[in-house]
A and B are shown apart, each in its own frame.
Chain A
Amino acid sequence: MDCEKFESALMDELYGELDELTSAATRRHVEGCARCAALMSGLRATRRVASLPRIEPPAGLERRILAAAAAATPRAVPFRGRLARAVSLAGSWAMRPQTAMAAVFLVMIGTSVLLLRGKSSRAPANATVTVTEEGTPAPATPPTDLAAPSPEPSAAPATSAFAAARPQDRVATTVSPAGGWAQPPPEALDDSRSGDGARARAPAKTSVAKGDEGAGALAQNAAPRRGARESADVPSPAPAAPAAAAAGQAFAPGAEGEKASEPAVPPSDPADELWAARAARDAAARQGRPCPSGPRFDDVASRSPGSQTGWDALYEGALCYESTGEYGNARTRLGTLLGVASYRDRARMTLDRINKEQAGGTANAGRAAPKAAPAAPPPAAAPAATDSAR
């Protein structure tokens, strides 16, 4: 250690806020540097002498403070207390395994119903509707890039389709990625087919021309449908834990059109938010990233003070901050938990560990997977996800 580093560490050493290693280094430097030794001893002596006498507060100050506090907001605490107790009670019920399992099943059933309903309202993935014009017979063989809408022989349904359909009624959807909307089926341009087909072709050409004009409109109409269909191609999301649903993992990209028709997501419950924070933490751990969920755990803890959910969030937030090297934040939260019977021992152990880590200079920043230990018995789905991440 040189004099410059010593001066940087001087105040910490004077007030005992240095870790053991650095403190030992400053002491060694002082032994070998007269200037720094004089500096240290002078300030130490000043501290000893500059001890301000402690003044006793005026008599009755505590009583007056309590009276003023009681007069200031006589009902603030009871309401808050009632609200907090209600949240605590709801939280304790929510954390019971039976309630959690029931919630998981409800979510599974609900998402299944929504998705099934959504799917049934859409055309099947491989369904196609041929663009037709009135009076134009359908081609004998269906075009290769168009799938028949039904397994029946092409002529009859095609005829009926041609008879009944108007361009704007039915929209061709192609399964091929070639973007069938922009291109008419090749058979529509093929005059070598049957007479009817030939007759169909001439108007078809016209219709193609018209179709070209209409293709833009049809393409426009197709766009949202394509997006919707693409989402239909996405496998329906597996019924997930509330955390996964809340984290938005249930919906594939490109499903915005469908999303708009679904019921609005209700405000998240603190217990759900806790699981979401855990899911984000575990996902980061799998990718070797540090825990990103500290603020989320804090938010849950502040929304559920005094409840099991709140304590769990506070503890896991502390572990999160420990893993990213934010020891101050971790200590603050663990200090709170020292007053909670069910967390006291764990909080003490974690504080001891942090102190050792700091003293030993072991960097925990960037450690991806903090050891999470939920206090209450978690629902069946969640521990499986958590355990698999370790």
Chain B
Amino acid sequence: MRVNDAAASRSEATDEALMVQFQSGERSAFAWLVRRHQAPLYNFAFRLLRSSPAAEEVVQDAFVRVVINAGEFKHAAKFSTWLYAITRNLCIDHVRKRKLRNHPSLDESKADEGGDGPTLGERTADGRSNVERAAASIEIRERLVEAVDDLPDEQREVFLLREVSNLPFREIAEIVGVPENTVKSRMRYALERLQAALSDFEEYARALR
């Protein structure tokens, strides 16, 4: 019972409280942070880098940096802000190295979308059974993924942090290091680009009603 109580309190504890516990020497608190953030962090890195192996490497490095620099975290900002800032910087480094090496993984990353892993249609949460609807759904989602990939880097990262990681604009501004109004402008431009890419789909029309 005591173990369950401890687990329950850990699962309810804020990131900052877990970080304080980790800084005090409780390694299990770090494990809870990993459990909580690894999936959204992976999604963010994957969408930014368009590569599963790269995203996994970046997420792993990000948490290692959290451990190494745990003493430097002064609670002046939220833990998620810090974690995403680390991850974003690692992604930027990865892209730079990739460009320098002229790595072919950019082409491979496109294959990751519908390659060895489950297809988008299989992995989506709505679970539509109708074939036509499923096909249309896959098509719009592929178009969406392409449209997101085609966004300028600064708009894409803001879009992903807002839509995938669900971070507020104020926090995104801290992560990317620009004013909050700039973040909102970038987000609006990103949405307008996506709107142009998706507006001829029936789903969009239905969503308008």
Kindly report which residue of chain B lies nearest to residue A81, judged by CB atoms.
B25
Instruction: Select B170's contact among A57, A62, A66, A328, beta carbons within 8 Å.
Output: A328
Task: Compute how far the CA of A156 lies from the CA of B57 in the bound complex, rounded to whole angstroms.
Answer: 95
Task: Compute how far the CA of A259 lies from the CA of B94 in the bound complex, rounded to whole angstroms.
Answer: 56
A151 at interface, CB cutoff 8 A: no
* Cβ-defined contact, B24 with A53, below 8 A: no
- Tell me the residues in window 338-369 of chain A with beta carbons closer than 8 Å to chain B beta carbons: 338-340
* Cβ-defined contact, A84 with B23, below 8 A: yes
B164 at interface, CB cutoff 8 A: yes
Task: Compute how far the CA of A186 lies from the CA of B140 in the bound complex, rounded to whole angstroms.
Answer: 105
- Tell me the residues in window 74-95 of chain B with beta carbons closer than 8 Å to chain A beta carbons: 74-78
* Cβ-defined contact, B43 with A54, below 8 A: yes
Task: Compute how far the CA of A58 lies from the CA of B51 in the bound complex, rounded to whole angstroms.
Answer: 12
> Which A-B residue pairs are the 8 nearest by beta carbons?
A81-B25, A339-B17, A336-B16, A45-B207, A306-B24, A11-B184, A339-B13, A48-B207
The smallest C-beta distance from A115 to any residue of chain B, in angstroms, reads: 38
The smallest C-beta distance from A2 to any residue of chain B, in angstroms, reads: 18
Instruction: Select A57's contact among B30, B38, B163, B203, beta carbons within 8 Å.
Output: B38
* Cβ-defined contact, B74 with A42, below 8 A: no
Instruction: Select B20's contact among A15, A42, A328, A336, beta carbons within 8 Å.
Output: A336
Kindly report which residue of chain B lies nearest to residue A87, judged by CB atoms.
B24
Instruction: Select A76's contact among B47, B67, B147, B184, beta carbons within 8 Å.
Output: B67
Residue in B60, B160, B203 with the greatest tally of chain A CB atoms within 10 Å: B60
* Cβ-defined contact, A78 with B25, below 8 A: yes
The smallest C-beta distance from B201 to any residue of chain A, in angstroms, reads: 7
Instruction: Select B67's contact among A41, A56, A72, beta carbons within 8 Å.
Output: A72
Interface flags, B180-209, vs A, CB<8A=1, else 0: 000010011001101100100101100110
With A10-B188, A15-B162 already in contact, the answer to whether A52 and B24 are too (CB < 8 A) is no
Interface flags, A4-39, vs B, CB<8A=1, else 0: 000000111001010000000000000000000000
Task: Compute how far the CA of A354 lies from the CA of B208 in the bound complex, rounded to whole angstroms.
Answer: 36
With A46-B195, A338-B14 already in contact, the answer to whether A15 and B169 are too (CB < 8 A) is yes
* Cβ-defined contact, B14 with A336, below 8 A: yes
- Tell me the residues in window 2-23 of chain B with beta carbons closer than 8 Å to chain A beta carbons: 13-23
Task: Compute how far the CA of A314 lies from the CA of B17 in the bound complex, rounded to whole angstroms.
Answer: 12
Task: Compute how far the CA of A221 lies from the CA of B84 in the bound complex, rounded to whole angstroms.
Answer: 64
* Chain A interfacial positions (CB closer than 8 Å to B): 10-12, 15, 17, 41-58, 61-62, 64-66, 68-69, 72-73, 76-78, 80-82, 84-85, 88, 298, 301-302, 305-306, 314, 328-329, 332-333, 335-340
Task: Compute how far the CA of A358 lies from the CA of B185 in the bound complex, rounded to whole angstroms.
Answer: 24
Instruction: Select A52's contact among B60, B66, B75, B144, beta carbons within 8 Å.
Output: B144
* Chain B interfacial positions (CB closer than 8 Å to A): 13-27, 30-31, 34-35, 38-39, 42-43, 46-47, 52, 56, 59-60, 63-64, 66-68, 70-71, 74-78, 118, 120, 123-125, 140-141, 144-145, 147-148, 160, 162-164, 168-170, 184, 187-188, 191-192, 194-195, 198, 201, 203-204, 207-208
Kindly report which residue of chain B lies nearest to residue A38, judged by CB atoms.
B208
Q: A57-B56, A305-B23, A306-B23 given. 8 additional CB < 8 A pairs?
A: A52-B43, A54-B43, A64-B60, A85-B24, A298-B74, A305-B24, A339-B17, A339-B18
With A11-B187, A77-B67, A336-B14 already in contact, the answer to whether A52 and B145 are too (CB < 8 A) is yes
* Cβ-defined contact, B144 with A49, below 8 A: yes
Kindly report which residue of chain B lies nearest to residue A336, judged by CB atoms.
B16
For B13, the chain A residues whose CB sits under 8 A away are 338-339
Can you spell out 25 A-B residue pairs with CB atoms less than 8 angstroms apart?
Answer: A10-B188, A17-B168, A44-B207, A45-B207, A52-B141, A52-B148, A53-B120, A53-B141, A55-B42, A56-B39, A64-B60, A65-B64, A66-B30, A66-B31, A76-B67, A77-B30, A80-B25, A81-B23, A81-B24, A81-B25, A81-B26, A84-B23, A301-B75, A332-B78, A335-B14
The smallest C-beta distance from A131 to any residue of chain B, in angstroms, reads: 61
Task: Compute how far the CA of A335 lies from the CA of B81 in the bound complex, rounded to whole angstroms.
Answer: 14
Task: Compute how far the CA of A66 lies from the CA of B20 in the bound complex, rounded to whole angstroms.
Answer: 18
For A10, the chain B residues whose CB sits under 8 A away are 188
Task: Compute how far the CA of A339 lies from the CA of B8 in the bound complex, rounded to whole angstroms.
Answer: 12
* Cβ-defined contact, A43 with B75, below 8 A: no
* Cβ-defined contact, A42 with B208, below 8 A: yes
* Cβ-defined contact, A88 with B42, below 8 A: no
For A305, the chain B residues whose CB sits under 8 A away are 20, 23-24
* Cβ-defined contact, A51 with B163, below 8 A: yes
With A15-B169, A332-B75 already in contact, the answer to whether A46 and B70 are too (CB < 8 A) is no
Task: Compute how far the CA of A62 lies from the CA of B71 in the bound complex, rounded to whole angstroms.
Answer: 22
Residue in B14, B120, B162, B170 with the greatest tally of chain A CB atoms within 10 Å: B14
Task: Compute how far the CA of A329 lies from the CA of B66 in the bound complex, rounded to whole angstroms.
Answer: 21
Task: Compute how far the CA of A314 lies from the CA of B74 in the bound complex, rounded to whole angstroms.
Answer: 11
With A62-B35, A69-B30, A336-B16 already in contact, the answer to whether A82 and B25 are too (CB < 8 A) is yes
Kindly report which residue of chain A lies nearest to residue B52, judged by CB atoms.
A58
Task: Compute how far the CA of A80 lies from the CA of B73 in the bound complex, rounded to whole angstroms.
Answer: 13
Task: Compute how far the CA of A54 lies from the CA of B77 in the bound complex, rounded to whole angstroms.
Answer: 27
* Cβ-defined contact, B163 with A76, below 8 A: no
Kindly report which residue of chain B lies nearest to residue A295, judged by CB atoms.
B76
The smallest C-beta distance from A67 to any residue of chain B, in angstroms, reads: 9
Kindly report which residue of chain B lies nearest to residue A67, judged by CB atoms.
B60
* Cβ-defined contact, A336 with B17, below 8 A: yes
